[in-house]
A and B are shown apart, each in its own frame.
Chain A
């Protein structure tokens, strides 16, 4: 298996604005899910602590699983729909350097963000079939991309990254050999 070396920023520069691949998108989604879940867990723990602080330790609160699930789904909807509508990228996508755009490359709208978010669970419900176009489609658009009229592209400034890499090489090259 051949993986591009970290120093190979030359080819990355030419990929800016191109359709993002499956690996990067998967990593971004995994990071987003982790962040969303951790934030939700912290928030529920904080709420529970506050309730316990108010009513005292004599009362035990057993949250309804259904209500908690609905709140979690609503939280996930907000977590994905809002950034996709406003900036086109979630926290995980920003870290991985990808962005959601409309099919022609223009910035996304609220309609794009909301539809994409609503259809995302359906893509999972197809047992992964909805993700296959990322691998085999001409525009690498999953089912929720097609429904929302969106595509995912590389958005990170690889040219700046290459210059940073070259700059980091300079002190290393100037170090005297021991």
Chain B
């Protein structure tokens, strides 16, 4: 227990030393740890003083002479280290970077990614995501303005869609039929439809008997005026060859 407290105090003191930010509260309080805190505070102050002295020394002219001399002396070692890091094209020796690139895939293959993924609770992560906030940040209007509706409509074959619509099913299975029925289901309309349909049926009956009397093929007759039903047949059906 005491070791853990010491570690916490040491961590806080280190953070404070590096960042110049006041240390967390656990390092500033606690009567039992005052010797440790005092020691750490002294060490931190000494470190700051030493750092200032070091920077002053390093920036001085004699120190620069010493540094340059050291750099000159260690030049062969520097070149050999650089060669080791980057590799030598003359000897074909690969550099450390190349070695790492070669070795990395094999190392990655050794890692069981699936096992790692299995340990991750995706649902928990998703639960933390605020979808509404994300959607609020999306500018739908801007996206829609970039969509060329006309181009999309040009690519849609409306006629083909209409051809696929089953009008009969539409009328019998949807409310559209009820709407039409309510608007046109007057007694007069029904009576007219019935009378006309009966008349057409009776016309067909009479015409069949008339054609039978004169032994004439009804299919050879023109169905109606050319402007209303198209051009009349030049030849009866079957003789067009």
Residues in B whose Cβ lies below 8 Å from that of A11: 200
* Interfacial chain B residues near A15, Cβ < 8 Å: 200
Of the candidate stretches A39-47, A62-70, A162-170, the one touching chain B is: A162-170
Please tell me if B167 contacts chain A, counting CB pairs below 8 Å.
Answer: yes
Interface residues of A in 122-169 (CB under 8 A from B): 135-136, 138-139, 151, 153-154, 156, 158, 161, 163-169
Identify which of A17, A21, A104 contacts B206 (C-beta below 8 A): A21
CB pair A166–B185 under 8 Å, yes or no, is no
Contact status of A164 and B225, CB under 8 A, knowing A3-B205, A6-B194, A20-B203: no
Tally of A interface residues using CB under 8 Å: 50
The answer to whether A161 and B203 have CB atoms under 8 Å apart is no
A35 to B61, CA, bound (A): 130
CA gap between A170 and B168 in the complex, in Å: 11
Flag if B210 contacts A135 (CB, 8 Å): yes
Q: Complex: how many Å from CA A53 to CA B226?
A: 57
Interface centre among B178, B199, B225 (most CB of A within 10 A): B199
The residues in A between 19 and 73 inclusive whose CB is less than 8 angstroms from any CB of B are: 19-24, 27
Residue-by-residue, is B184-212 near A (CB-CB < 8 Å gives 1, otherwise 0)? 11000110111111111111111100100
The answer to whether B202 touches A96 (Cβ under 8 A) is: no
Find B201's partner among A3, A19, A167, A170 (CB 8 Å cutoff). A3
Which single member of A2, A4, A95 contacts B197 (CB below 8 Å)?
A4
Q: Given A4-B201, A27-B199, are A167 and B181 neighbors across the interface (CB < 8 Å)? A: yes
The answer to whether A12 and B171 touch (CB under 8 A), given A6-B194, A17-B229, A167-B180, is no
Establish whether residues A6 and B193, one from each chain, have CB atoms under 8 Å apart when the complex forms: yes
Residues of A within 8 A of B131 (CB): none
Bitwise interface map of B from 152 to 195 toward A, beta carbon under 8 Å scored 1, else 0: 00000000000000011001110011101100110001101111
22 pairs from A and B in contact (CB 8 Å cutoff): A2-B201, A4-B202, A6-B194, A9-B193, A17-B223, A19-B223, A19-B224, A23-B199, A96-B196, A97-B192, A101-B228, A136-B210, A136-B214, A138-B221, A139-B222, A151-B225, A153-B224, A161-B197, A163-B171, A164-B180, A164-B181, A170-B171
Closest A-B pairs by Cβ, 9 of them: A21-B203, A4-B201, A105-B227, A105-B225, A17-B228, A23-B202, A24-B199, A167-B181, A105-B228
